[in-house]
A and B are shown apart, each in its own frame.
Chain A
Amino acid sequence: MIRNFDTGAAPHFPAQSTVAGVMQQVLYALLPGIIAYTWFFGPAILIQILLAVIFALLFETLMLKARKQPLKQFLGDWSAVVTAVLFALCLPPLAPWWVALVGMLFAIVVAKHLYGGLGQNMFNPAMVGYGVVLISFPQVMALWMPPTSIASHSLAIGDVFSTVFTGKLPLGLTWDMVSEATPLDAIRSSVSSGHMVSEARQSPVFGDFGGLGWEWIANLYALGGFWLLWRRIISWHVPVMMIGSVVALGLIAYLIDPGSNPVPLQHVFSGALVLGAFFIATDPVSGCTSTRGRLIFGVGVGIITLSIRRWGGYPDGVAFAVLLMNMAAPLIDRYTRPRIFGH
């Protein structure tokens, strides 16, 4: 009795991992940081995440339809959700709803689908979205809140909703009363007005190393990052080189001029550095793929971030640093090809 079989390509194994699985794990890894964020700054960030995810999925659906791509397969890859969450985590929690709309429009429609969709985008979509809103709406993007523990006026969840959706604070409150400079802002403005970093650090928004609350959020982002490293979703090269170069250069700057440069750990534990190191600069699509390329990429992001923080026009520079290095990634990859076996 001859028996016939269906054939298939080797290797004859079930799929070991999926794109959706990778994206989901990135989201899991973000959870501790998000929880800490909510703990320190209230639930407003959750609204931003929700908004960004909704807009992202909306634009993703529209673009997939326009590009005649299978909806179920690509909506199910979770990549738009990752983009949305990373974008939202960069926003001031009280930013009005249309910030997420504009950000996601540029992230998903322009940066992702106009470049060819998943895997084809040259720039990190979340950072493109963030860069656009940061440049376009500087005032809105500066409305940061202090941690709830030191806030003089705390907003109830209903107030947060109405603020995000109407852009107006509840009666009796002004932006001056609820907003507070971020630690990086504080350092920046005090140094530029001739004060010492140590004087700036007298502000209650500072914690042990970085910003109050921020440093714990950074710790928990790092925890998620370690988990991603352990799961081999990301490699150590970019985070280690990025944080390492910031610490190394920050230390040099601090030793030369401790008055106008914060201690290096301050740099690490404030702003988006840890989030950027583990979750944004490690984006494989827009980053380098070769091992040596990743080392260079990480160093580049670190140096540019620090330069922007020190001399640039923005308090934090992770987003622009990542975008600039995205531009250099293909070139770096070309010149860091590993030596092929036997050559």
Chain B
Amino acid sequence: MHIDQAEQARNVAEQLHHFHGGLRLHHNKKISCETPVASTPLPEHFFVPLLQQYGKEAEATVVVGQKILKGDEIGCFAHLGSGCVHAPSSGVVKAVVRRPISHPSGTDGWCIVIEPDGLDQWKELESLTDWPDADPALLRQKIRNSGIVGLGGAVFPTAFKTDEAIKRGIHTLILNGSECEPYISCDEMLMREQPDSIILGARILQQAVGATRTVIVIEEQMGAANHALKQAVKSTGDNDIEIVRVTAIYPEGGEKQLIQVLTGLEVPAGGRPSNLGLLCQNVATASAVAQAVVEGKPLIDRIITITGNGITRPRNLVARIGTPIADLVERCGGYTKDAARLVLGGPMMGYALNSDDNPVIKAANCILALTQLDIQPPQAEMPCIRCGECARVCPAVLLPQQLDWLIRNEQWIDAEDCGLFDCIECGCCDFVCPSHIPLVEWFRFGKSELRSLAVERNQAKTAKHRHEARDARLLRIKQERRQRMKEKKRAFKDDAEKQKKLTEAISRARARQGRNE
């Protein structure tokens, strides 16, 4: 990184910039912001998926029939050192079953079924009330053990990010409160109702990673959240926490786009914000950090927006991880009669669920029930007319139509060269395409094909190495054997000569003896 770039990265939000493309979408957030966040009653059963993030499933650390307390660890990852899963309430482990887990692929996964006992009794909580004096490493350890992941939807383990931040050294913490997807209002409601928790989380994170400044980014229209956060900052007396309002352009909430808006810099391809000395966290993640450190509570619930024209009374709820979505919808008065599609996440990047039997997961920021009118029957796909709208709106400055063409023609290497892996799957290209080509679906397919190709290539390489090693070994053994044979022969020959000399000596001696006699 250039010196001037490093300097520029320090001036976060001194001046706001633009990112390429993007869309101005109708917010549709009001409908879920009118009532305060409410709690959800305990469901009959919790179904806590062991897979909360991309990658491998956690391993269950409880057995069927075991009594557990609220907050007990029930699943843990051997890898990445994060993302543990905790019991959402006290009760009994009834089963460990495979069932729908709200995964984008729609596949089933292992879930721990917990029957709550109604007491909702916490385990013994270990809080770090003296966190201002605590060792940053201890704070990061606490974050790791509390199962905290990015609550903006990407569910990237927070501990992983903070550890990396420490390694690279960061100066500014960016708290992302700009939920740019339409309909979703969980972060906005959190900022309005629990600003203190966010500010506290910001200060803890700042200490955990050694940042000297925090910038909280919200959207221009979030007046109430702005006010609440300002009050909260004022009451702490800190002047190193700043609130910045940005114009709502989708996908501004994306980490890379947000950083471009705040600094004018691009996170280098394949790199992370920490390359620029920045750490980006969602506001809800900061709040979860505050709860984990100050109260010792692991991440067992989150605020989730239940909204859309398919929901009778849209609102935000505090939902525990593992609660069936049907229970949340019921809490909001159920579906309207024309509900036609159930989406987890926002309308741009969220994925459709095939049933409301799916549980709430850590990534679930929104349950969106849409009506037929909202989605309308899908239009027939037409050939690409190369209108270039997709390229105009692409925040990653890709040429989506070209990528699409390359993927369809299985030109994988070219597709990679054209930046397939730089695609953030925001869906802007899909949104504007007049030919209704499911571009992002093709890009996901292309990425997975390229990944499996890479795996195959690696396997082939390993097989080749193995084969070469085997050949070398066989050759070596053969040579060694030949060598040994040679030595043996020589030895034998030597032996034979010795023997010969011996017999000669003996016969000479005998002859001498004979002469003497």
Contacts and interface: CB of A to CB of B under 8 A. Distances in A.
Interface string B352-395: 11111100000000001010001110111011111111011001
Contacts of A289: 386, 388, 391, 399, 401-402
A174 to B, nearest CB: 46
B111 to A, nearest CB: 15
A65 interface: no
Given A338-B397, A340-B397, A2 B355 contact: yes
Contact of B422 (A5, A7, A13, A341): A341
A339 interface: yes
A291 B376 CA distance: 33
Interface in A56-107: 70, 73, 77, 79
Nearest to A5: B342
Contacts of A14: 374-376
Interface stretch (B171-179, B426-434, B480-488): B426-434
A19 B269 contact: no
Interface string B160-171: 000000000000
A38 interface: no
Nearest to A12: B347
A3 B269 contact: no
A17 to B, nearest CB: 4
A342 B375 contact: no
Given A1-B326, A9-B440, A289-B401, A119 B386 contact: yes
A339 B397 contact: yes
Interface of A is mostly: loop
Contacts of B348: 10-13
Nearest to A119: B383
Contacts of A13: 347-348, 374-375, 431
A342 B382 contact: no
B507 to A, nearest CB: 91
A284 B433 CA distance: 13
A118 B368 CA distance: 36
Contact of A73 (B380, B384, B427): B380
B438 A340 contact: no
Nearest to A17: B434
A235 interface: yes
B223 interface: no
A285 B384 CA distance: 8
Contacts of B55: none
Contacts of B286: none
Interface in A16-75: 16-19, 21-22, 70, 73
B118 interface: no
B341 A7 contact: yes
A290 interface: yes
Given A3-B326, A337-B399, A339-B397, A19 B385 contact: yes
A342 B256 contact: yes
A8 interface: yes
A4 B352 CA distance: 11
B382 A12 contact: no
B356 A77 contact: no
Interface string A94-131: 00000000000000000000000111100000000000
Q: Interface range on chain A: under 10, 10 to 19, 20 to 34, or 35 or more?
A: 35 or more
B340 to A, nearest CB: 7
A235 B441 contact: no
A6 interface: yes
Contacts of A118: 382-383, 385
B357 A5 contact: no
A11 B425 CA distance: 10
Interface in B333-351: 335, 339-343, 347-351
A19 B422 contact: no
Nearest to B269: A342
Given A10-B440, A337-B399, A235 B388 contact: yes
A7 B354 contact: yes
Given A18-B434, A284-B385, A8 B352 contact: yes
Contact of A12 (B341, B399, B438): B341
Contacts of B368: 12
Contacts of A120: 383
B398 interface: yes
A5 B355 CA distance: 6
Given A9-B441, A12-B350, A340 B430 contact: no
Contact of B376 (A15, A21, A338): A15
Contact of A17 (B271, B374, B422, B432): B432
A235 B352 CA distance: 35
A9 B438 contact: yes
Interface string B108-131: 000000000000000000000000
Contacts of B508: none
A6 B341 contact: yes
B431 A11 contact: yes
B268 interface: yes
Interface in A135-149: none
Given A5-B341, A13-B375, A19 B434 contact: yes
Interface string B259-278: 00000001111110000000
Interface in B391-418: 391-392, 395-399, 401-402, 418
Nearest to B419: A340
Given A22-B387, A118-B383, A16 B432 contact: yes
B106 interface: yes
A14 B25 CA distance: 13
A8 B341 contact: yes
A341 B396 contact: yes
A343 B397 CA distance: 10
B435 interface: yes
The CB with the most chain B CB atoms within 10 A, among A3, A4, A18, is that of A3
A262 B391 CA distance: 39
Nearest to B421: A340
A9 B353 CA distance: 10
Contacts of A235: 388, 392
Given A5-B355, A10-B427, A340-B397, A73 B350 contact: no
Nearest to B432: A16
Contact of A11 (B270, B347, B357, B380): B347
A202 B202 CA distance: 80
Contact of A284 (B271, B380, B387, B430): B387
The CB with the most chain A CB atoms within 10 A, among B326, B354, B434, is that of B434
B20 interface: yes
B436 interface: yes
The CB with the most chain B CB atoms within 10 A, among A9, A70, A339, is that of A9
A3 B335 contact: yes
A311 to B, nearest CB: 32
A228 B384 CA distance: 19
B352 A5 contact: yes
Given A290-B399, A340-B419, 16 more contacts: A3-B326, A3-B342, A3-B356, A5-B355, A12-B343, A13-B348, A15-B436, A70-B380, A118-B385, A285-B386, A289-B399, A289-B401, A290-B391, A340-B397, A342-B267, A343-B269
Q: Closest 6 CB pairs between A and B? A: A119-B383, A7-B352, A14-B376, A342-B269, A340-B419, A12-B347
5 contacts: A8-B352, A10-B430, A12-B352, A13-B348, A21-B434
